[in-house]
Structure 1
Amino acid sequence: MSQLSDQDASRLLDKLSDRWWRLNNLYYITDKYGRKVLFKPNEVQADLDDNLHTLNLALKSRQHGITTWACIRALDMALFKKNTQAGIVAHTAGDAAKFFRKKVLYAYDNLPDWLKAIRPAVRRDMRDGVLELANGSSIEVSVSHRGGTLTFLHISEYGPMCAMYPERAQEVASGALNAIAPGNIVVIESTAYGAAGDFYERCQTAMELVRQVKAGTGVLTSMDYRFHFYPWFRDPINELDPEGVPIGPDDETYFAKVEAEMEYKLSARQKAWYVKKAGDQRDKMKREHPSTPAEAFEASTEGAYYGKEMAAASNEGRITDLPINPAVPIHTFWDIGRSDTTAIWFMQENGPWLDFVDFYEASGFGVTHYAKVLKERGYLYGKHHWPHDGANEDWSASENRVQVASKLGVKPIIVVPRIEDVTEGIDMVRNMLPRCRFDKTRCGPPKAGQGRGGLEALRRYSKQWNEKTETFSDMPYHNWASNPADAFRTAAQGYVSSSGRRVGESRALAEDNWRTA
C-alpha cells in the first residue's frame, strides 16, 4: 500500500470495502484444468452468496464449486474482519487436506504482497489444517470441529458423510453446528445420498418450510435453514452438440416434466448432454446430477442393504394407506432389548401380500410395557415371533422372557432359530420384500421422541464403511436402524406363509428342501 500514490490508495481502500469487488478481484484458484486463474464467482456461487441466510442448506449436483466459494468466502472474512473464526468441514481427511492446501493456502499465498504484509500469517499448520492471521482471525479445515465459537462454518458433502461416516456426522452435528453463535453463518452443502440420514432430514424440513412460506403459513427465521437447490442445468458446462444424439419420446416426456416443475426451459444442447450423461451414469444419474430436489433423493443409498427393494416398493405404490382387515390375524415380529431398543413389526397376510400395517419401538422398558402396547392396539393377534435370544432370563429372576410374556397375554410365541451368517438372513429379507406392502403412516415417522420409524430404518440399514479401503464391508453397521431391521429379519426367517414355506426362502431353495424332505 505504501508504494501506491495517495489517490490510488484512496481508490483501492474504497474498493476494498466492497466484498463483491474483493471476491472478484483478489483471489486466485486453480481451475478444473489445473491452471491458475482469478476467482470470479460462477452463476451458482454468485446466487448462493447473494441469497445467503444465517443457516443454509444447499442440495446440489456435481461440480458447482460451492466448497471453493466457501474457502474463498472464509478467507475473505478472516482477512477483512478481525477475530473471525472460520471452519471448513470435509467428509474425508484427504479432502480436508486438499481443501486447506489447494484452496485456502493457495488463495492466501497468491494475494497481493501489500495485503499479505498487512495481514501476515502467524501460523500455518499443515497437519491440523489451521491458518492464523495477525488480526486474530483463523481458518481451520478438518473432518469435524468442536470447541470455540465459529463465525462461519461450511460443511462439505454432508450426505455422503452421514452414509459412510455416521459417527463423524454425529460429531459434526453435536460439535461443529453447536459452535456457531446466533446470527453467524452456516452452509451445509452436499449431493444427495439416499432418502435417509441427517442431511436428508434437514432438507425435508427446509423444503417443507419453503412450501409454508409460499403458502403464507410459515416464516423463515434466523434459526431456520434456507433451502438452496442447484441442479445440473445451472452449470453452463453441461451442454453438448445435439447432432447425432437421439432424444426419444420418454426423454422428451421427462424433460417436459422437469421444465414444468422447475419453471426452466432446457436447451437442445442441455438435453443432449443429459441423455449422454445418463447413459454413462445410469442409476447414479439422479443422485449425481438431479433435475429436481425430490429426484435427488430417489436414488438408493450406497451401502444400504435394502435400498433398491425399498425404492421399488415406493415406486410401485406399495408404501401407501393400508386398511387393516379385522378378520385376518396380525402376527408380530420382534427384536428385543432392555437398555437397547425393542422393535416390533405388525403384519397380516392378505392374499399374496405381506401387509406390514404397524410398527413400534421403544427402549428401557420390560415386557409389561410391550404387552400393554399390544393390548392397547386391539388387534386380532396370531403368532408372536421372537429372535433366538427370546428365552433369556433378564425380565424375571425365576422365569425366562417367554414365560413372563405369556402370562401377560403375549402368546403363542415362536422363538426363531439363530442364523449364524447374518448375510443369509439379509438375503432372506431381500427375497421377502417384493411381497411386502407398508402402511406409510403407522410404519412411517412417529411422534417426536419415539424413534424414526420402521420404513426409515429399512431404508437406512447399511453396511459398515471401511475407511482404509474406502469400500463397504459385508457386515452391518450397528446404529439406530439395526433393531428395526433385525426385527424385520425375524419375519423373513421365521414366518411360515399360507403356502407352507418361510417367506424369506427363495423359490429355488424351497423346491430343493421339498425334494430332499
Structure 2
Amino acid sequence: MSEAVPLDFEPETEEELAKCLADPMWRVCSGYLYKIMVKSDDGDGSVVPFKPNRSQRRFIGSLWYRNIILKARQLGFTTLVAILWLDHALFNPDQRCGIIAQDREAAEVIFRDKVKLAYERLPEALKEAMPLARDSASELLFAHNNSSIRVATSMRSGTIHRLHVSEYGKICAKFKDKAKEIMTGSLPAVPLDGITIIESTAEGQEGDFFDKTQKAMAKHEQGSDLNARDFRFHFYPWWQESAYRMPTASVIITDKDKEYFAEIEGLMKCTLDAAQRNWYVATREADFSGDPEKMWQEYPSTPQEAFKVSTEGTYYAVQLAAARKSGRIGQVPFVEGVPVNTFWDIGNTDGTAIWLHQKVGLQHRFIGFIEGWGEGYSYYIKQLQELGYVWGTHFLPHDADHERQQGEDVEAPIDILEKFSIGGKWEIVPRVSDIQHGIQVTRAAFSQCWFDETACKEGIEHLAGYRKTWNTRQGRWNATPEHNIHSEGADSYRQFAQAFETLNVTRTKLTKRERNWRTA
C-alpha cells in the first residue's frame, strides 16, 4: 500500500500528481480535484473547493458496506456522497453508482448542482483523460472506463455497486409505493461487496427507515459485530456542527430549556455552550414556531430523540399510557362463540381503517386492525372474510349513507357494502354535533378497552399519533385534529365509542328511500 499523501499537498509535477491521484482520500478531501456549490451570504450560489467538514470526515473514516445515517439537517451528506460516487466512477472501471432522491425535482438538483458541476469543474487535463460517452439529464457515462453515475427517484435494473438513498425517512412517510420499490428492488441490487448509504432526518415512528434505523441502533448499542448485510449506524447531532451557533445574548433561555440542555449533556457526555443554546432556542422558535417535536426531528440531540413523539397536543397519550400500565395492551386472543364487530372510517379519497372488536363481559376487546389506501371495498371485505369470524355488527361513519359517485353509478357506501355476503348487519353511527365531544367520549371509553398488541399494532400507533393541529402563527395547539396518516385509524376507533354511547348497540336500520329523505 502506497504512503498516504498529506491532504494539503499540491502537486507540481506529473509524477507528484500521479502519486496524489492514486490516493482516494487525497482525491476526495484535498479540494484540488472537486468543486461544489455552496450558498453565499447574499443567497446566491458560489463554487468552492470541496473539503469535507468534521461530520463528513468522521463518516468517511467509519464507512461500512451498509450504512444508515440519522442526522440533523444540512450537514452536507448528499454532497459528500455525490463526490464519493463520482470519484469512484472516474477511477474504477465498469462501476454503476446511483443516488435515489425523494422526488424528481430533488433528483434534478442533485444531478445538476452536485454531480455534473463537480465533473465539469475538474482540472481540464483530467477531464480530457476521462471524457463522457453519454451525458443525459440524469446520468454521466464515462468513455475511458465504462463506469457511470446516475441520479433518479428509483433504480431497479442491473447491479448497483454504490447506492445512496437520500432522505429515505421522508420517502417512507410520503411515498409508500416508492419506498416499497426501493426496499424490494433498489437495495437488493447492491452486491455484498458494494456500498449502500441510507441517509435522512427522522420522519415518525413507522416505515422502513425507522425499522432499519432501530435495528442498526440496537446493534450499535450492544456492540455487536456486523456482517456484510448488517447496517452500521451513524448519528450526527446538531451540536457537533460548528456552524450551529449564535453568539448573541438576546435569546431567552427558560428554566425548561436549561433542564433540557442539562439532560442532553448528561446523556451524550457533551458540553453545550451559550452560543449553541442560543442557536437551538432561536431556531426552534423562528423555524418551527416553538414546536419541540419538529426540532427533535430536524435537529436531534440524541438518536432516540429523533423519533420521539411529543405527548403535547396528542388526544389519547394519557389513556394509552394507563392502558399499558394496567396490562390492557398485550395478548388479547379471539374468543370462540362471541360475534366480532367492526368499526369503520371510510375516506372519500383517503384511506380506510377498520377495528375488530368483541364484547366479552364488561370488556371491550380489540383483536385486530385493518387499513389501506386507494383500495376498493372488496379489498377490505376479502380480508374480513378470510378471518372466518362470525360477524355481529359492522358500524359505519355517519356519512356512509351519503350517495357518492362510484364508477358509473351513484351509490352510498352502505348500499355497496350490504351487497357483499359477509354476514352480520350494517349500522350507521350518528354524527356528533362536535368532534371534541366524540373525542371526550372516546377518552372515557378507554378504561373498558383491551388491545392485542400485535394484531392492533398499527391501530395503536395511530391512536398515539392522533393530535391537534399546530398553529404556526400563534405558536400553540389548535382545538381541531390534524388530518394526517393517523386520522382514519383514530376516527374508526371513535366510531366504537360513539356507537356504544348513543346507540346502545341497537338501532333501527333505515331503508335507502328513508336515508335519502333524511339527508335531502
Q: TM-score, normalised by structure 2?
A: 0.72
1:30-109 alignment, distance < 5 Å:
30-33=37-40, 34-109=45-120
What SS does the corresponding residue of 2:39 show, helix, strand or coil? coil
Q: SS at the partner of 1:285?
A: helix
Letter in structure 2 aligned against 1:323: G
Shift of 1:322: 3.4
8 Å Cα contact 1:313-1:319 kept in structure 2:
no
The answer to whether the 8 A contact 1:330-1:346 is kept is yes
1:13 maps to a residue whose letter is A
2:427 to 415, 433, 436: 415
CA distance in 1, matches of 2:232, 2:157: 25
Which residue number corresponds to residue 12 of structure 1?
Answer: 17
Alignment equivalent of 1:495, drawn from 492, 500, 509: 500
Are 1:238 and 2:244 an aligned pair?
yes
Aligned to 2:510: none
Match of 2:277 in 1: 271
Question: Residue type matched to 1:200 in 2?
Answer: F
Assess, with a 3 A threshold, how the Cα gap between structure 1 residues 491 and 299 changes in structure 2: closer, same or farther.
same
CA change 1:324–1:342 in 2 (3 A) is closer
CA distance in structure 2 between the partners assigned to 1:18 and 1:355 by the alignment: 67
Alignment-derived partner of residue 392 in structure 1: 418
Aligned with 2:258 (options 249, 252, 256): 252
State the distance in 2 between where 1:10 and 1:258 align. Answer: 51
Deviations 1:192-230 (A, max 9, x none): 11122221122122222223x33xxx4322111111111
Instruction: Look up the equivalent residue of 1:180 and give its one-letter code.
Output: V
TM-fit CA distance, 1:247: 2.4
Q: Which of residues 207, 213, 227 in structure 2 aligns to 1:203? A: 213
1:111-130 to 2 correspondence within 5 Å? 111-126=122-137, 129-130=138-139
Distance in structure 2 (CA, Å) of the matches to 1:425 and 1:115: 70
Distance 1:41 1:347 in 2: 61
2:83 is aligned with what amino acid?
I
Answer yes or no: is the 8 Å Cα contact 2:339–2:389 preserved in 1: no
Specify which of 150, 155, 166 is matched with residue 156 of structure 1: 166
- In the alignment, the residues of structure 1 paired with residue 345 and residue 66 of structure 2 have an alpha-carbon distance, to the nearest angstrom, of 40
| Structure 1 residue aligned with 2:423 | 401
Aligned to 2:321: 317
Secondary structure in structure 2 of the residue aligned to 1:175: helix
CA contact (8 A) 2:466 2:482 kept: no
For residue 146 of structure 2, what is the aligned residue in structure 1? Answer: 136
Range moving further from structure 2, 238-247 or 484-493: 484-493
Distance 1:67 1:266, change over 3 A: same
Q: Name the amino acid aligned to 1:322.
A: S
* Contact 2:429-2:495 within 8 A present in 1 as well: no
- SS of structure 2 residue aligned to 1:98: helix
1:170-209 to structure 2, matched below 5 A, reads 170-209=180-219
Aligned residues: 434
Distance 2:216 2:111 in 1: 30
Q: Deviations over 1:7-60 (max 9, x none)?
A: 922222222121111112310001121221110011111111111111111111
For 2:450 and 2:262, the matched residues in 1 are separated by 32
Q: 1:167 to 1:367 in 2, by over 3 A?
A: closer
CA shift in 2, pair 1:252/1:323, >3 Å? same
Structure 2 distance, partners of 1:442, 1:316, is 10
CA distance in structure 2 between the partners assigned to 1:158 and 1:355 by the alignment? 38
Overall identity of the aligned pairs, in %: 30
SS in 1 for 2:321: coil
Displacement of 1:141 in angstroms is 0.4
Determine the C-alpha separation between the residues in 2 that align with 1:96 and 1:19. Answer: 26
Q: Residues 428 and 119 (structure 1 numbering): CA distance in 2 closer, same or farther, change over 3 Å? A: farther
- Partner of 2:389, secondary structure, is helix
User: Which of 229, 233, 237 matches 1:223?
Assistant: 229
Distance 2:162 2:450 in 1: 39
Q: Per-residue deviation at 1:245?
A: 2.8
Structure 1 residues 70 and 366 mapped into 2: Cα distance closer, same or farther (>3 Å)?
closer
Aligned in 2, Cα 1:158/1:324: closer, same or farther, shift over 3 Å? closer
Residues 393 and 175 from structure 1, CA distance in 2 versus in 1: closer, same or farther, beyond 3 angstroms? same
Partner amino acid for 1:171? E
Alpha carbons of structure 1 residues 346 and 426: separation in structure 2 relative to 1, 3 Å = farther
Structure 1 counterpart SS, 2:149: strand
**Corresponding residue for residue 505 of structure 1:** none
Q: How does 1:317-396 map to 2 (within 5 A)?
A: 317-318=321-322, 320-323=324-327, 332-335=341-344, 343-345=355-357, 358-359=367-368, 369-371=387-389, 386-387=395-396, 389=414, 392-395=418-421
- Report how far residue 483 of structure 1 moved: 7.9
AA of the residue aligned to 2:266: A
**What letter matches 1:295 in structure 2?**
E
Shift of 1:293: 1.6
| Residues 148, 273 of structure 1: alpha-carbon distance in 2 compared, 3 angstrom cutoff | same
Separation (CA, whole Å) in 2 of partners of 1:175 and 1:86: 15
Gap change, CA 1:271 and 1:365, over 3 Å in 2? closer
Alignment deviations for residues 450-484 of structure 1 (CA, whole Å, 9 cap, x no partner): 6853223556799xxxxxxxxxxx9989x9x8985
Write the distance in 1 (CA, Å) between the matches of 2:360 and 2:326. 11
- Does the 8 Å CA contact 2:418/2:426 hold for their aligned counterparts? no
Is residue 27–residue 38 contact of structure 1 (8 Å, CA) maintained in 2?
A: yes
Distance 1:235 1:335, change over 3 A: same
Corresponding residue of 2:307:
297
What secondary structure does 2:52 align onto?
coil
**Contact 2:73 / 2:298 at 8 angstroms: preserved in 1?**
yes
Among residues 134, 142, 155, which one is paired with 1:145 in the alignment?
155
Alpha carbons 1:86, 1:150 under 8 Å: kept: yes
2:161 counterpart SS class: strand
- After superposition, the Cα gap between the structure-2 partners of 1:89 and 1:341, relative to the gap in structure 1 and judged at 3 Å, is same
Once the 2 structures are TM-superposed, how far is the Cα of residue 371 of structure 1 from its aligned partner? 3.1
Q: How has the CA–CA distance of structure 1 residues 429 and 106 changed in structure 2, closer, same or farther, with 3 Å as cutoff?
A: farther
Change (3 A) 1:315 1:426: closer
The 1:334–1:178 alpha-carbon spacing in structure 2 relative to 1, beyond 3 Å, is: same
Contact 1:443–1:455 (CA<8 Å) still a contact in 2? no
Are the equivalent residues in 1 in contact too, given 2:365–2:450 (CA < 8 A)?
A: no
Tell me how far 1:87 sits from its aligned partner.
Answer: 0.7
Distance 2:327 2:116 in 1: 61
Q: CA deviation at 1:93?
A: 0.9
